[in-house]
Structure 1
Amino acid sequence: MIELLESLVRGVGLGGMYALIAVGFVIIYRATGVLNFAQPIFMILGTYISFTIVDTLGLPFPVGVAGAIIAVAAIAMGCERAVMRPMVGRPPFAAALVTIGLFAAGLVVTAKLFGPSVITSGDPWGLGNFCIGGERPADAVEIPGIPLPCQDGLAINYTDIFKIVTAAVVIGLLGAWLARSRYGLAMRATAMDQEAAMAQGISAGRIFSLSWAIAGALAAVGGILVGTAAGGVAAAAALVALKALPAIIIGGLDSIKGAVIGGLIVGVAEALTKTYQPDAAPWLGANFDVVMPYVLMFVVLLVQPYGLYGTKEVQRV
């Protein structure tokens, strides 16, 4: 039971991080009809910029968080203006290929920025580790970022708790902003019908830039959470964000609610697979937890081609 609870907490933490990135995918897709494959680059840039502000400049961690979010949002907006705006009116497939090009170029840039080093924000909150319902061994040695073992108790990594809380707060605030603010309503109107929104005086170009900025900011928050993990982060960690793709396909490409639920499903499934698969099904091979999100994606597509909450396309002939 303890092992199951630890896996569930770890899985919900992963799911919260995937949900942040997946919601960014959905916002851009709803506004522009384009699936943005450059989201992983925005995520890893959030990790790098926050680390640079805190470690190199010596500024407080909250300043690093704010700086990374603003910087990545500006970079994402610049990418939309310089690269994606000329693609307006082109087929969505062609625009998606351009985002793949951004992803490939971004991998090269981040590899140069990171170099061979591994970076980590360590323990920015200074809260140590959690041990619930048990006692720590007297001879246990504390290692930053790694929970101390608990005898007959529940060991929880503090980063998992903050992933859950951060994802819930950020997505909740975003949902309230989309529902009540002027620009939020404009984004929803543009997502429903661009021509009708423009007829009401809404600037589609401004909404496109805003959607990319929000998606970049969400990815940056996810990257900051990745950077606080034990063991550090290398440039290749950008590929972690690609697990948000099964999340949005499971939940539905145009559904924010679906992105959140899909992220949680993917995170929990990955954590449970990592815990139990080596003993229950060793014939599946090592690291099968990496593959599990895509297996779930294929299963859901067989049953629900538009995802759990995706809008079904109706064609009249």
Structure 2
Amino acid sequence: MTQFISLNLVSAAIAFFLDDIFGDPRTGLHPVVLMGRLNRFLEKYLYGLGFAGGVILTAVSAALWTSAAAVLLHFAYGFHVYAFVLLNSVIIYTAVSAKSMKQHAMRVYEPLTAGDLPSAGHELSMIVSRDTQGMDEAAVVKSAVESVSENYTDGVLSPLLYAVFGGGAGAVFFKAVSTLDSMIGYKNEKYINFGRFAARLDDVLNFIPARLSVLIIAFSAPFCGMSMKNTLKTALKYRLAHDSPNSAHSMSAFAGALNLRLGGSVSYFGRVKDKPFMGDGTGEPAPEKIKEAVKLFETAAVFAVALCVAVYFVLRYYGGCPLACA
């Protein structure tokens, strides 16, 4: 077990370096793209079953992709441990979305600084499900910051933790559920029943990572010229403010670090929803806050990977040298 986790720690670190270098590969063969296509195909036949159909879709999709990854990794390990690490790293890499989040956020930031609000709103619509037409600058900034903060858990920390304890198969399992949640996990008329199971399972999978994210973000804050104390204070106060049991943790931590007040009324599919406010910050939601959020996101991601590397060397020192002795 120690050897398995050690190999996963190495693979996770390599995966994050791959993501930092290459970003999210733009191809129709990307596992997430294939997951999405399969989900939509199965949805056509299962939607009529309501909640039960959503359970079946979630079970089939998660089981199929997880077992496929597990089988490939099993054969890779049987061939050579280095083949396992290589394949494991590539699979985990496809489950991580750190660089793409930074790039998307900066695509919102750049037109804002040029005074092009419509273009900024269009770019924002690529990463959020809320309606972006008619948003003023402050709303665009806050929405971008909220997206970055939420994605730290979904796109960085959760896949990392499931990769460490479950390898590439664990990361794929999380990504399969997360992808379904992003597709059908809405509380609207169409998906309130069909997508409920996927949404609740996603909540369960993100429960521990969301809480761990507060500590990592708070630790990262001083390295970005931000207050660790205010990050923790705000997160403790507002971490349960959101309807979701997880979303407000990283979001409130970012609000505290950036000295912002996030949340408020937003429109989803033409219907206005009053979301709770998070943070007591007095900072102006200016475009620079997006850039600061990206910096904090990047720093927290680096610390998450550094934690993996540190744990690997501890296991290697006390539990042997899995790569050299395999």
TM-score category, normalised to shorter length: 0.3 to 0.5
TM-score, with length taken from structure 2 = 0.35
**Which one has a larger percent helix, Structure 1 or Structure 2?**
2
Q: Which has the higher contact order (CA 8 A, sep 6+)?
A: 1
